[in-house]
Every structure is written in structure tokens, then in C-alpha cells.
Amino acid sequence: MSELERRLARGGDGPAPDADRLSAALRQRAAAEGLLDVAYASMDSPLGELLVAVTPRGLVRVAYVQEATEAVLEDLANRVSPRVLRAPERTDEVRDELEEYFAGARRGFDTPIDWSLVRGFAVGVLQATARVPFGQVTTYRDVAGAAGSPRAARAAGNALGSNPIPIVVPCHRVLHAGGGLGGYTGGLERKRFLLRLEGAGPIG
């Protein structure tokens, strides 16, 4: 819960619908006045609860439930903007796309990406990763090469390990050159699940 939402929660003992209307009105006013820089919401998925955050430029964060919500929001406030507010309607597009993906009805994402949380070499690595097609896999060495440093496979692995937008930027499609799974920020079971969902072949 953000500080703004805490203030709303302490604001009185009125019925919940009034609080909901007040919260919605507050979000609308914040957006209209240019005060809503990062909007976020949660959603259920086959991989557990996901936190999704967007800016006016696009999707900036997807976080697995294993990550503490407060820590994710604090990181967004520190690195993107302190004007962070729960605003589910602002995340509808990407949440709908994620639901379609998990249902097997979507093979790619149309939502724009905001790369604000990515710096340096990692930008090239993650942008190369975003171009790996549904149902296919590549290697750390290959995405390093696509980012301009073919010998930097380890650095590419580090960049993928800190990918702030998993699933949509499909770091699960990147494997070791020998076919090993490598690592994954959400854990290897989630990586296996995503690869199987996409029909990427036998996964160890």
C-alpha cells in the first residue's frame, strides 16, 4: 500500500464503496494533473500473483509474488518517480495481454516497453531478448552478440537475471549454449512452465 493509499485508509469510517469511489476519483485527478507517473496493479496467473507497473511510456515492471510488493514499489519510486499509485485501469491492456498469453491465445505482446529500469549493456541484451520469437530459444552467447559483445555471455546472463519485465521480455527463452536451462529470476520451475507453455521442446 502506498503512502497515499494509507492516508485514504485513515480518512474515515465511511462505507467501502465510498472509499472506492474516492480512490478512483483521486486516481483520475492525479492522472489529469500529470501527477501519476507510475500506475500499478496485481493479477493472478498460473505462476502466482504478478505485480504489473506502467508509465506513460509503457510497461516498466512485472514482478513475481516472491518479491515483496513494498520493495518493488519503493524501487520504482526511487528509480522512476515517487508518484506511484495503484491504478488498475491504467494496467488493463498489459494485464489482458498476459491473461491471453497464459490462456494460449497470444504469441506476442503489443504493449510498449519503458526501459527506464535498464542501463548500459543490459539494454541491448534485453532488447535482443525481446525479439526472440514465441516457442523458440536462444543462448546467452547469442544475445550478448546481438548486443554487440559476443564474448560477454556472463554479463548477458547478469542482465537477464535482473530483467525487470519477465515474461513480456522473454528471458525464459535464453539457455546455456549446451542446452542447460541456466538461471531465472522467478525460479527454474517457472522457466520450465513458460517454455512448455510455448511448446519450446524437451526442457531439462
132 pLDDT tier (thresholds 50, 70, 90): very high
**Residue 70 pLDDT greater than 70, yes or no:** yes
Q: Which of 16-25, 27-36, 160-169 has the lowest mean pLDDT?
A: 16-25
Residues of the chain with CATH 3.30.160: 3-102
Tell me which of 87, 152, 156, 171 is the catalytic residue: 171
Distance between CA 97 and CA 192 in Å, rounded? 20
**Using one digit for the tens of pLDDT, what is the confidence trace for 73-86?**
999 999 999 999 99
Task: Tell me, yes or no, if 171 is annotated catalytic.
Answer: yes
Of the candidates 113, 119, 130, the residue with the CA atom closest to the CA atom of residue 55: 113
**The predicted structure's pLDDT at residue 34:** 62
**The predicted structure's pLDDT at residue 30:** 55
**The predicted structure's pLDDT at residue 41:** 96
Residues of the chain with CATH 1.10.10.10: 121-197
Distance between CA 107 and CA 199 in Å, rounded? 11
**The predicted structure's pLDDT at residue 162:** 95
User: DSSP of 44-104, one letter per residue?
Assistant: --TTS-EEEEEETTEEEEEEETTS-HHHHHHHHHHHT-S-EEE-GGGGHHHHHHHHHHHTT
**The predicted structure's pLDDT at residue 12:** 46
Tell me the percentage of the chain whose pLDDT exceeds 90: 72
**Residue 42 pLDDT greater than 80, yes or no:** yes
Instruction: Read off the amino acid at residue 9.
Output: A
More confident residue, 155 or 35: 155
**Residue 23 pLDDT greater than 90, yes or no:** no
Average pLDDT for 138-154? 94
**Residue 24 pLDDT greater than 80, yes or no:** no
Average pLDDT for 156-179? 94
Q: Is domain 121-197 given the CATH code 1.10.10.10 in the classification? A: yes
- Quote the cell numbers at residue 68: 515483496
Distance between CA 160 and CA 177 in Å, rounded? 15
Contacts of 40 (CB under 8 A, 6+ apart): 51, 52, 53, 54, 61, 73, 76, 84, 85, 86, 87, 91
* Residue that the C-alpha cell 494460449 belongs to: 104
Distance between CA 89 and CA 94 in Å, rounded? 10
Average pLDDT for 139-162? 94
* CA gyration radius, the chain: 18
Q: Is domain 3-102 given the CATH code 3.30.160 in the classification? A: yes
Instruction: Read off the amino acid at residue 57.
Output: R
pLDDT, averaged across the chain = 87
